[in-house]
A and B are shown apart, each in its own frame.
Chain A
Amino acid sequence: DAGVTQSPTHLIKTRGQQVTLRCSPKSGHDTVSWYQQALGQGPQFIFQYYEEEERQRGNFPDRFSGHQFPNYSSELNVNALLLGDSALYLCASNPTGPYEQYFGPGTRLTVT
């Protein structure tokens, strides 16, 4: 059983560009959450998707947007990239309800 998978593993972008990160949840999981982990910090919640809709959102600007597809996979889009967006982006999934979240290996985004 594959766990949570994310692509790409690493990404380098230039300020002002746009980026799309992808996540496939663990089998049987229908809820996907995205977190941003800056260097030396704990993960910060960006948003959560369930039934193809954004259910919760953390304190991130509208430049951060997402999508969930009918097969429960998800995308994170970031527009107008800033140097401060450089971070490890983690995707987590869980089944419906208050269950622990399982994390993917992350996508390392570097903005130059």
Chain B
Amino acid sequence: GNSVTQMEGPVTLSEEAFLTINCTYTATGYPSLFWYVQYPGEGLQLLLKATKADDKGSNKGFEATYRKETTSFHLEKGSVQVSDSAVYFCALYYSGYSTLTFGKGTMLLVSP
């Protein structure tokens, strides 16, 4: 079946540091890939997406590239801010099932 594996957190960084959160997936067919962010006490917000191999999704300084050969969709940001502190979820969408499959989430803590 479909599954998503994310690196375990928390990831603790100082402001302006470089961020990478690893995400790999297992899926039949060619899924779409997403990163969602969840701030404390809130629901999920779509951060970025990629729908086919080699696509790069980007938003608010975050980027992720859909790598079919390594079945990965790693999230990166060149310079994190305190306001980026949140839990980040990698997810895949396979149209055959019409639902999202999520990873367990990675907590990011950014200190001033």
Contacts and interface: CB of A to CB of B under 8 A. Distances in A.
Nearest to B100: A101
Contact of A48 (B45, B49, B99, B102): B99
Nearest to B95: A98
Interface stretch (A38-46, A70-78, A79-87): A38-46
Contacts of B93: 98, 100-101
B10 to A, nearest CB: 11
A48 B99 CA distance: 8
Interface residues of B, number: 23
Contact of B43 (A40, A48, A58, A106): A106
B69 interface: no
Contacts, number: 56
Interface residues of A, number: 24
Contacts of A40: 104-105
B46 A102 contact: yes
Given A98-B32, A102-B46, A41 B104 contact: yes
Interface of B: 4, 32, 34, 36, 42-46, 49, 89, 91, 93, 95, 97-105
16 contacts: A31-B98, A41-B105, A42-B4, A42-B91, A42-B103, A43-B102, A45-B99, A56-B98, A56-B99, A58-B99, A90-B44, A98-B95, A100-B46, A101-B100, A103-B36, A105-B43
